[in-house]
Amino acid sequence: MRRRDFLATTAAAASAPALIGGCAGSPGDSGPLEYLSLAWQKESIEVNKALVAEWNERNPSVKVRYVQGAWESVHDQLLTSFEGGEAPDIIHDEANDLTDFAHGGYLADLRPLLPEDLKSQISRANWETATIAGGIYGVPFLHDPRVLIANRKLLEESGVRMPTVGRPWSWGEFEDVAKELTRSRGNSRTYGVAWSMKEPVNQSVNLTMSTGGAVFHRERGKDVIRFDEADYGVPELIHRQVNEDRTASRSTLGMAGSDTLPGFFAGRYAIVPLNFSFRQQVQQQAPDGFEWVTLPMPAGRGAPGGGQFQGVSPQTLSVSQDTSRKKAAMAFIAFMTRPDHMARLAEGDWLVPTGREALRDPALNTDEHGWSTGLRIASDLRASPVLGVRGYPEWKDKVATPAFQEYYAGSIGLRALRDKLVDDGNRILARYQR
């Protein structure tokens, strides 16, 4: 049992005395509101701290204290502090992580608290990413979609068509391009693409939306897993590139995104599909004179939205159910997500803002470092199919991660992959939906 599951079980057992005692008290009844931030890049931390300082200056009676959290451990940290009645008042997290907390009653439903101008700034598709069982449990404010980061020189030398957001490659074209870019010289080989698949599930599921798939479906009020043709189009293509065409490097299958960058800079891979925020590392680490370009992901022909839809799990700001100052916490969130502030936060983290006005911010609307590509695909981003599905973390860790890894490495075939994902997966989901 993974630590997360184990901790959840322990939390359930331990919550009884806490409830009986009824003396947990409300955190933050006095003193500053606590804001748990997961900002981790220098610029992003600076912007967050500057905004907190600005808020404190303007609102001396409702001060906010910046508390640094970490992506790696935020779930365990929050679960423990929720159980102990010591949760931060304002919580920065990912929509993907909110499901269990919302169902557990740890997070406040923001619907009665949301100011109208904030509500209207963010599109309906974005609000859906934080909607769980009819309630809204976070303000989605930053996206990290998948893009293709490519070696401009190799692309131009090969003579392939340069895709644009208006006219992206189809998945078929992408396969052809990868073949065109793959070269063998003696023992060395330049691959067309490098898929980093250390954590294969999110990107495998999110990219299925481009071919009209979803993997997770709602049937008679319950979440079920299917793995039909629309769902396996992209995984099958990746499998083909690695194992048949050999246009994708096998060695990167076990790597995280950062690990593929040295090979990318050395010209070993022409294209790396990475999250939008990885541009910061590319820009920082690329050798002098290395030219790179940010391209949209390929589109599935004949799928909804022109095949350009992509599932995302945005970063969110939530309010703890335990806090007695929900309105003040919401006011702070509204301040942080004001269009100009949201744009600053997006710029600091190299991410795409969710707000309509923030997307028009001149600082972000530049072709430099691929910003314009990310901003233009913003309207194609949809709630990841995994959002709001109870049992998804367990399915991901116990079933889907090893199954996808085996499939991409060529150890199992498509039928075995489907059996594992669907049969084992639905058993797990059923347990959460009794």
Partner 1 sequence: MTTRSGTARAGQYLALVCYLVFLAFPLLWLVSTAFKSPQELGSVDASWLPHDPSLDSFTAAFGQQPLARSALNSLIVASCAAAISVAIAVPAAYVMVRYRSAVGKAATGWILVSQMFPFVLVIIPLFLVLKSLHLINSLTGLVLVYVVWNLPFALWMLQGYVRAVPASLEEAAAIDGCGRLRTLLSVVLPLLTPGLVATVMFSFVTAWNEFFFALVLLKSPEKQTMSVILTHFIGAEGAADLGPLAAAALMATLPSLLFFALLQRRLVSGIMSGAVKG
**Minimum distance, C-beta of residue 107 to partner 1, in the bound complex (Å):** 18
Q: What is the DSSP string of 15-41?
A: HHHHHHH-----TTSSSPEEEEE---S
Among 281, 324, 372, 379, binds partner 1 (CB under 8 A): 281
Written as one letter, the residue type at 55 is: W
66 binds partner 1 (CB under 8 A): yes
Task: State which of positions 329-388 bind partner 1 (CB under 8 A).
Answer: none
Nearer residue to partner 1 within complex by CB, 224 or 286: 286
Give the three-state DSSP class for 224.
strand
Q: Which of 86, 173, 176, 357 binds partner 1 (CB under 8 A)?
A: 86
Question: Rounded to whole angstroms, how far apart are CA atoms 118 and 106?
Answer: 23
How many residues line the site for partner 1 (CB under 8 A)? 56
- The burial class, CB within 10 Å (0-12 / 13-18 / 19+), for 142 is buried
Q: Smaller CB distance to partner 1: residue 290 or 432? A: 290
Q: What angle do CA 69, 402, 147 make, to 5 degrees?
A: 60
Q: Residue 142 or residue 334: which is nearer to partner 1 going by CB?
A: 142
- For position 34 contacting partner 1 by CB under 8 A, the verdict is yes
User: Which one, 8 or 237, has the nearer CB to partner 1?
Assistant: 8
80 is an interface residue for partner 1 by CB under 8 A? yes
Q: Is 42 in the site for partner 1 (CB under 8 A)?
A: yes
* Sequence-ordered list of residues with C-beta below 8 angstroms from that of 397, at least 6 positions apart, any chain: 2, 4, 5
| Contact between 278 and partner 1 per CB under 8 A | yes
Distance between CA atoms of residues 373 and 67, nearest Å: 33
Instruction: Copy the structure tokens of residue 1.
Output: 């049992």
Question: In whole angstroms, how close is the CB of 190 to partner 1 at the nearest point?
Answer: 12
Shortest Cβ distance from residue 103 to partner 1 (Å)?
18
Task: Using CB under 8 A, pick the residue from 33, 35, 38, 95 that binds partner 1.
Answer: 38
CA distances from 9 to 4, 83, 191 (A): 9, 12, 45
Using rule CB under 8 A, residue 94 touches partner 1? yes
Reduced to 3 states (helix: H, G, I; strand: E, B; else coil), residue 129 is coil
62 CB-side CA count, 13 A: 17
Nearer to partner 1, 313 or 321 (CB): 313
Count Cβ atoms below 10 Å from residue 387 Cβ, excluding itself: 23
Which residues in 200-219 contact partner 1 (CB under 8 A)? 202
Question: What is the C-alpha to C-alpha distance for residues 296 and 381, in angstroms, rounded to an integer?
Answer: 12
Asked whether 215 and 421 are in contact (CB, 8 A), the reply is: yes
Q: Interface with partner 1 includes 144 (CB under 8 A)?
A: yes
**Residue 2 tokens, joined:** 């993974």
Residue 5's identity, in one-letter code, is D
Shortest separation between residue 266's beta carbon and partner 1, angstroms:
4
257 binds partner 1 (CB under 8 A): yes
Q: Which residues bind partner 1 (CB under 8 A)?
A: 3, 6-7, 10-11, 14-15, 17-18, 24, 34, 38, 40-42, 45, 65-68, 70-73, 76-77, 80-81, 83-86, 88, 94, 144, 198-199, 202, 256-258, 261-263, 265-266, 268, 275, 277-278, 281, 284-288
